[in-house]
Every structure is written in structure tokens, then in C-alpha cells.
């Protein structure tokens, strides 16, 4: 048996990294168990000529395609949206686009404002200092003064507008709609010893330049310097409990496939909205037959995935193509509820630049815009470097029927039951997707685009994994309390997107990390009566 630690963090992604970093100042003995390895930027696809091909193999965003030893299979057959993630130190940030919006103040009060779902037990104001702190550590670029948000500091200048941004900015001005440069976890200048972005355009398959705000670069080095231990290649199979119902530690499979017990005083789960319910459900025991921390029955329920629609077109002028961070601008024009639109809540737009040559051809072929045969070449030339578009990120309201359960047959390399996703797009979300395609088409038309196509939902875009262990003050209606502690197991905390009460209509990582820092802060300030 290993030596006991004060705090055991399971998962080395951005939520695990943030909480480890914050708790490090307590000088407690902190250990993070991560099933993957440290990313090696020398091996990232953009370092070789096969950069586009590797996005479909060992650097696919889909773990079922990637099948690296750190990955676990996910049965997502019963979902129109397939799951994307990355398992390794840094978690999903290794492959994310770095689009870094915060939730808006209204997101925390949807029941009060719109009569849907539940209010959060915390507010934008209570998270604000943690958002700001996280922005400084991740190194967020952006432009102060966005009228879609309460005031926030600018840390680094925004990512370049490029020809694509200019085209969309003009189109949005023509329509009189909101747009703004995205807050992005992309260094536009040298920052804290990290190199600036050189417009590789490959954020989604790992930044070889190290300019992207990933948890392995922004948080972990300092946490490790402060003596937090990250033990890689260790997949946790279950959390164990003592007679008194408190967590005693966790079992994990080490690199050699041995099952080892790691005792701990406090356990923090940071495995994301799928990995976390999977682990809690796999931790069922005689005392907790329905899984750990699950007296509410809500572990694995209310999965929210943010359905995306993509609207795309071609223009005559040469745009940025695959050069530059794909993240460019956002629009919050349709974010707040407007009952006249026929749905509750709303969505944001993320404007994106073009694709590399192979991806341009693949997308054009599948959309029927680039044909087979002799006409292929001309159609390709019309599309390549002259295409751009936007995606809508639609607020998904919580539904008990959208779930993560354990697959009765599928297991990972260590024989641990795999998660199974059951997910449907609700009527409300569908209307939002349709609305976003109609408005997105108007935007592209205003930009002078032709051959406008759309796809809804984007099938391989299940990268925001939220809501499956929600926070709340009522133990019957939530899994953790308002500061991230399990209602049932008083030394068990959850620090990832599972605790989201609603999803908002923006990418979640800045909020996930703000919550993680907030939970750490609560642990520190309540240390003397933490288990009461």
C-alpha cells in the first residue's frame, strides 16, 4: 500500500491542475493520479508533413478513433453527438481551440429569469475573482470593453483579426449585430517565459510552439515546483470508503497493470463530465449500491453537450485559410433569452478561419460541394483559402434522460467498465440550432459568401461535458453542495464540469477552472470545519 496523502486529485486536466496549484500553498501532501502521460510537443502533428493525416489517427479528438493506451472507449452509439477528449496531463486543453469565454451573469439565474432548469447556488460575482485569476495564469488574450460582458481586464492583446475577422466584422456591422474578438487562451506576446503564437493554425492537434494556454504548461509546472506529485499512467478504477462512510482513497492500475491502493484524507475528482460519473458509478459498494455520492440518483444524469451547428461559405477574396488560430471572433447577439424567438435561453457564435488543404477537400466532398471527377480541381480551388464560417454553441438545458451510465459489456484496457452515453437533442435546443443556422446564413450572405452550407448538429463535437454531478444546496436535487463537496461523502470533492447546473451557451473551460479555484479556496478557508 502507498503512503497516505492529504489530498488525492484524480485527473490532471485543467480542473485538476487548477485545484492542485491553488491547494499547493497549504503545504499539504498532494498527489494527482492521471491515466495519461505528459504531452510531448516534439511529437505534435504540426511538426511533420503528415499534420492533417494525424488528426484522423493518433491525434484524433475522438478517443474511439485515437485508441491511445491512455484512452478509454466510450459507447456513444446512442447519441447523435460523439464524444471528444484528450487523456493526459493537461487533459482536453492539449487539443482544445483555446476559445475562452466566461459564462454570463444571467447563466447563473436561469430559473429566476426564464423559469427553466435551476438557478446555480453561486453567482457570476462570486466566481469573478477566480475567473480573473485563472485568466492571468492561463495567459488570456482579448480586448477590454466587450459590451456583452461586465468589465474584465485585458491581459494580452487579441489574436490577429486577419482577413477572415475583417470580413466577418464588416458583415456584422452591416447587420448591426454584436461581435468582438474572442478571449483566447493563446499567447499573443511572450508571457511568463512562454513563447507567443506563430499562427501555426493547429491548436486542435496540440500547439508545438507552446503558445496555447494548456494546463500542462500554465498550471502544472508551478504546482510541481510547489511539491505536488503528478503520477502518470495511473488509471483509477474506484474510490473506496471507510466504515464511517468517508472516502479512504482510491484503487488505481499502474503502468504495469498492477492494482494499487492509494490512501488519502481528501479525494478530489476531476475527470470531466463523463469520466467523473463513470468513476463514481464504478465505485458502487455494498454501502453505496447505486454508486458513490449518489443518494440523489443524479450521478450521470443531466448530461449537457452543447450541440453545435456549423454554417460555412465561400467568398471570392483570399482569406486566412488554415493560417492563424482558428479562434477569431465571437458574437453574443443571440445569447440572452428573447421569448419572440420561440425558445428559452440562447447561443453564442464563434467565427472560425479556414482549413488545411486535405480538410477542405474532405469537408467539400462530404458536403457535395467538391465533386468526384474532373471538376474536383476547380471546385477545390474555389474553396481552398476562400472558405470561412461560424459555429453556434447552443445552450443545452439539463434533462434527466441524457445520461452517462456504465456499459454492460465494453471495458477499457484494465477491464474497467466503459461509459455509455444516452443523449437526445431537445425540442428547445433544436429550435435554437435552426435559428442559429438561419441567422448564420444571413451573416454569410452579408459577407458576400456563396455556396453556403450548414451542418447540425456537428456530429463529432461532443467536447463540452457538463452537468452529470450538479451542484446545489438541496441534497435531493444535487450531488455536491455549493462549494463542490459531496452531500453524501464529506471528504469527497468534485472540481470539473460535472458540477454545472446549466450549460450556458459558451465554451466551458474558463468556468470549469474558475469553479475549481473557487472549490480550492473553499477548502482552504473552511479547513477547520471542512467535514462538518
Contact (CB, 8 A) for 520 and 530 = no
Residue from the set 63, 142, 158, 275 that interacts with ligand FAD by CB under 6 A: 275
Candidates 21-29, 81-89, 154-162, 206-214 — which segment interacts with ligand FAD by CB under 6 A? Answer: 81-89
Distance from the first to the final alpha carbon of the chain: 28
Nearest to another protein of 51, 252 (CB atom): 51
Indicate the angle between helix axes 509-525 and 124-138, nearest 10 degrees. Answer: 110
The span from the CA of 146 to the CA of 331, in Å, is 10
Name which of ligand FAD, another protein, ligand SF4, none residue 150 binds, using a CB cut-off of 5 to 8 Å depending on partner kind. Answer: another protein
Instruction: Transcribe 384-436 into DSSP letters.
Output: TTSEEEEEEEEPPPP-TTSEEEEEEEEE-TTSPEEEEEE----HHHHHHHHHH
Is position 418 an interface residue for ligand FAD (rule: CB under 6 A)?
no
Q: 342: which DSSP letter? A: S
In whole angstroms, the minimum distance from the beta carbon of 254 to ligand FAD comes to 11
Is position 189 an interface residue for another protein (rule: CB under 8 A)?
no
Q: Which of residues 314-373 bind ligand SF4 (CB under 6 A)?
A: 325
Nearest to ligand SF4 of 253, 463 (CB atom): 463
Residue from the set 66, 102, 212, 306 that interacts with ligand SF4 by CB under 6 A: 212
Number of residues lying near another protein (CB under 8 A): 77
Name which of ligand SF4, another protein, ligand FAD, none residue 212 binds, using a CB cut-off of 5 to 8 Å depending on partner kind. Answer: ligand SF4
The span from the CA of 107 to the CA of 255, in Å, is 42
> Strand 450-455 and strand 229-231: pairing?
unpaired
354 CB contacts (<8 Å, ≥6 apart)?
164, 319, 320, 321, 322, 360, 384, 385, 386, 387, 388
Q: Which of residues 211-240 bind ligand FAD (CB under 6 A)?
A: 235-236
Is position 358 an interface residue for another protein (rule: CB under 8 A)?
yes
Nearest to ligand SF4 of 1, 49 (CB atom): 49
In whole angstroms, the minimum distance from the beta carbon of 158 to ligand SF4 comes to 13
Q: How many Cα atoms occupy the beta-carbon half-sphere of 207 within 13 Å?
A: 30
Count CB neighbours of 351 within 10 A: 27
Point out which residues pair with 78 in neighbouring strands.
422
Candidates 21-29, 94-102, 437-445, 523-531 — which segment interacts with ligand FAD by CB under 6 A? Answer: 94-102
Nearest to another protein of 114, 254 (CB atom): 114
In whole angstroms, the minimum distance from the beta carbon of 328 to ligand FAD comes to 12
The span from the CA of 348 to the CA of 332, in Å, is 5
Residue 403 sits at φ, ψ, to 5 deg, of -135, 160
> What number of H helices and E strands is found in the chain?
13, 16
Angle at 523 between CA 522 and CA 525, to 5 degrees: 65
Nearest to ligand SF4 of 99, 102 (CB atom): 99
Binding mask 139-178 for another protein (x = CB under 8 A): ----x-x-xxxx-------x-xxxx-xx--xx-xx--x-x
341 CB contacts (<8 Å, ≥6 apart)?
334, 431, 435
Number of residues lying near ligand SF4 (CB under 6 A): 13
Residue from the set 43, 366, 473, 525 that interacts with another protein by CB under 8 A: 366
Candidates 289-297, 392-400, 446-454, 503-511 — which segment interacts with ligand FAD by CB under 6 A? Answer: 503-511
Residue from the set 207, 236, 332, 471 that interacts with ligand SF4 by CB under 6 A: 207
In whole angstroms, the minimum distance from the beta carbon of 500 to ligand SF4 comes to 26
Q: How far is CA 94 from the centre of its chain?
A: 11
Binding mask 10-29 for ligand FAD (x = CB under 6 A): xxxxxxx-------------
Name which of another protein, ligand SF4, ligand FAD, none residue 34 binds, using a CB cut-off of 5 to 8 Å depending on partner kind. Answer: ligand FAD
Angle at 399 between CA 393 and CA 402, to 5 degrees: 85
Residue from the set 22, 34, 121, 219 that interacts with ligand FAD by CB under 6 A: 34
Edge-to-edge order in the sheet of strand 327-331: 180-181, 327-331, 347-352, 387-394, 308-314, 450-455
- Which positions lie near ligand SF4, rule CB under 6 A? 186, 197-203, 207, 209, 211-212, 325
- Which positions lie near ligand FAD, rule CB under 6 A? 10-16, 33-36, 61, 70, 84-88, 91-93, 95-100, 204, 235-236, 270-272, 275, 279, 463-464, 496-497, 507-509, 512
Amino acid at each position: 500500500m502507498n503512503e497516505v496523502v492529504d489530498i488525492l486529485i484524480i485527473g490532471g486536466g485543467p480542473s485538476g491542475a487548477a485545484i492542485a496549484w491553488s491547494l499547493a500553498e497549504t503545504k499539504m501532501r498532494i498527489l494527482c493520479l492521471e491515466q495519461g502521460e505528459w504531452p510531448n510537443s516534439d511529437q505534435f502533428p504540426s511538426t511533420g508533413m503528415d499534420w492533417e493525416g494525424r488528426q484522423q489517427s493518433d491525434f484524433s479528438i475522438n478517443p474511439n478513433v485515437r485508441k491511445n493506451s491512455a484512452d478509454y472507449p466510450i459507447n456513444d452509439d446512442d447519441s447523435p453527438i460523439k464524444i471528444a477528449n484528450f487523456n493526459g496531463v493537461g487533459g482536453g486543453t492539449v487539443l482544445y481551440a483555446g476559445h475562452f469565454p466566461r459564462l454570463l451573469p444571467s447563466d447563473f439565474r436561469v430559473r429566476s429569469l426564464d423559469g427553466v432548469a435551476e438557478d446555480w447556488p453561486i453567482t457570476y460575482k462570486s466566481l469573478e475573482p477566480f475567473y480573473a485569476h485563472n485568466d492571468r495564469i492561463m495567459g488570456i488574450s482579448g480586448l477590454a470593453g466587450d459590451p456583452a460582458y461586465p468589465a474584465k481586464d485585458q491581459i494580452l492583446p487579441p489574436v490577429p483579426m486577419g482577413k477572415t475577422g475583417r470580413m466577418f466584422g464588416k458583415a456584422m456591422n452591416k447587420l448591426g449585430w454584436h461581435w468582438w474578438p474572442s478571449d483566447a487562451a493563446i499567447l499573443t506576446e511572450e508571457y511568463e517565459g512562454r513563447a507567443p503564437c506563430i499562427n501555426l493554425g493547429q491548436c486542435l492537434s496540440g500547439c508545438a510552439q507552446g503558445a496555447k494556454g494548456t494546463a500542462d504548461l500554465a498550471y502544472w509546472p508551478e504546482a510541481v515546483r510547489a511539491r505536488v506529485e503528478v503520477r502518470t499512467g495511473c488509471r483509477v478504477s474506484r474510490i473506496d470508503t471507510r466504515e464511517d462512510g468517508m472516502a479512504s482513497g482510491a484503487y488505481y492500475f499502474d503502468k504495469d497493470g498492477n492494482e494499487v491502493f492509494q490512501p488519502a484524507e481528501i479525494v478530489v475528482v476531476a475527470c470531466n463530465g463523463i469520466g467523473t460519473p463513470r468513476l463514481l458509478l464504478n465505485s458502487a459498494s455494498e454501502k453505496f449500491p447505486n454508486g458513490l455520492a449518489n443518494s440523489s440518483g443524479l450521478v450521470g444524469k443531466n448530461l449537457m453537450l452543447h450541440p453545435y451547428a456549423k454554417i460555412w461559405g465561400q467568398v471570392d477574396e483570399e482569406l486566412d485559410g488554415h493560417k492563424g488560430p482558428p479562434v477569431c471572433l465571437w458574437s453574443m447577439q443571440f445569447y440572452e433569452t428573447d421569448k419572440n424567438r420561440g425558445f428559452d435561453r440562447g447561443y453564442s457564435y464563434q467565427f472560425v478561419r479556414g482549413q488545411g488543404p486535405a480538410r477542405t477537400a474532405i469537408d467539400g466532398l462530404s458536403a457535395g460541394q467538391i465533386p468526384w471527377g474532373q471538376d474536383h480541381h476547380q471546385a477545390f480551388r474555389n474553396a481552398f483559402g476562400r472558405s470561412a464560417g461560424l459555429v453556434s454553441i447552443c445552450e443545452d438545458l439539463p434533462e434527466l434522460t441524457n445520461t452517462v451510465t456504465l456499459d454492460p459489456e465494453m471495458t477499457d484496457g484494465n477491464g474497467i467498465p466503459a461509459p455509455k452515453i444516452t443523449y437526445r437533442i431537445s425540442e428547445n435546443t433544436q429550435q435554437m440550432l435552426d435559428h442559429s443556422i438561419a441567422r448564420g446564413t444571413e451573416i454569410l450572405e452579408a459577407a458576400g459568401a456563396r455556396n453556403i452550407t450548414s451542418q447540425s448538429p456537428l456530429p463529432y463535437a461532443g467536447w463540452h461535458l457538463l452537468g452529470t454531478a450538479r451542484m446545489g444546496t438541496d441534497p435531493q436535487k444535487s450531488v455536491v453542495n455549493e462549494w463542490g463537496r459531496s452531500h453524501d461523502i464529506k471528504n469527497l470533492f468534485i472540481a470539473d464540469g460535472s458540477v454545472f447546473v446549466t450549460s450556458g451557451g459558451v465554451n466551458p473551460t474558463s468556468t470549469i477552472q474558475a469553479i475549481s479555484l473557487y472549490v480550492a479556496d473553499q477548502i482552504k478557508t473552511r479547513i477547520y470545519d471542512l467535514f462538518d
